[in-house]
Amino acid sequence: MDKTCSGRLAVIRLRGVTDDADKPDVPPSRRLAELLGLPEPKPFTEEEERAYQQWLADGDAQVEAIIARRRQRAA
């Protein structure tokens, strides 16, 4: 393994731990954006939040349908 690469990973991990201790109220998305040098993510609008929640519910329904089909086949 390249020691330089593993050293960089160690620095990133240490920064994350230190940042967590210094800023416990900072959301993980903001910390990740800072670490990657990206702009801070913008919060969802009400419409985007509704669409996101619907997307999650649709995904949950699909998973439940898959599980039900597998149980039915196994029976």
The whole-number pLDDT of residue 60 equals 98
- d(C-alpha 8, C-alpha 10), whole Å: 5
What is the tens place of the pLDDT at every residue in 27-75? 888 899 999 999 988 889 999 999 999 999 999 999 999 999 999 999 8
Rg over alpha carbons for the chain, rounded to the nearest Å, is 20
Tokens of 38: 């990206």
pLDDT higher than 70, residue 1: no
Whether the CB-CB separation of 71 and 64 falls below 8 Å is answered with no
Q: Is the pTM of this model over 0.75?
A: no
